[in-house]
Amino acid sequence: MLIATNKAVSIDYTLTNDAGEVIDSSAGGAPLVYLHGTGNLIVGLEKALEGKQAGDEVKVAIEPEEAYGEYSAELVATLGRDMFEGVEELEVGMQFHASAPDGGMQIVTIRDIDGDNVIVDGNHPLAGQRLHFDVKIVAVREASPEEIAHGHIHGEGGHHH
């Protein structure tokens, strides 16, 4: 069975950056199971896996525009410490939900703290980076009507309700 929209796909993968450093991997754990064609993976990886089948191996470099986007300095802001009401101790690396410029929600990460100024960054941690994936397709199956309706895989390796 070929990978196509609304197929349940299981993959083993290793993600590295341009320097060859491992960013993420399924090695030593269960394969990643996802619903293809529904935005559960970055666009570039879905494109690279389209039409492949169980047993295939794919090595691909994905540019930022088909991964987590270019780094945007506009998503970095300095906020007053008083904006973090109810949080006792602020630390670099902490993440918070915040209102995005488009009115939606986004995750911001504290990048630096300078006295009462807290510098937050709304960019994805991998924004602006070329990503290198080494993928082995473990299995491809029909997704259930419920999985398609929910937009994600249920059961082992997928989402549990």
Q: What does pLDDT average to in each consecutive run of 10 residues of the chain (161 residues)?
A: 97 97 95 95 97 98 97 94 90 89 86 95 95 98 94 70 45
Domain 73-121, what fold? Thrombin, subunit H (2.40.10)
Looking at the DSSP bridge assignments, the partners of residue 105 are 99
Q: Where are the domains of the chain?
A: 7-68+127-150, 73-121
Q: Is 47 helix (H, G, I), strand (E, B) or coil?
A: helix
Q: What is the C-alpha separation between 24 and 126, in angstroms, rounded?
A: 11
CATH class of 7-68+127-150: alpha beta
Number of neighbours of residue 136 by Cβ within 10 angstroms: 16
Domains 7-68+127-150 and 73-121 fall in the same CATH topology: no
pLDDT at 78: 95
> On the CB side of 99, how many CA atoms lie within 13 Å of its CA?
4
Which CA distances in Å does 94 have to 72, 80, 108, 131, 146? 19, 15, 8, 24, 35
pLDDT at 140: 98
pLDDT at 71: 96
Q: Give which of 20, 22, 32 is closest to 158, Cα–Cα.
A: 32
Q: Based on the number of CB atoms within 10 Å of its own CB, is 147 exposed (0-12), middle (13-18) or buried (19 or more)?
A: buried
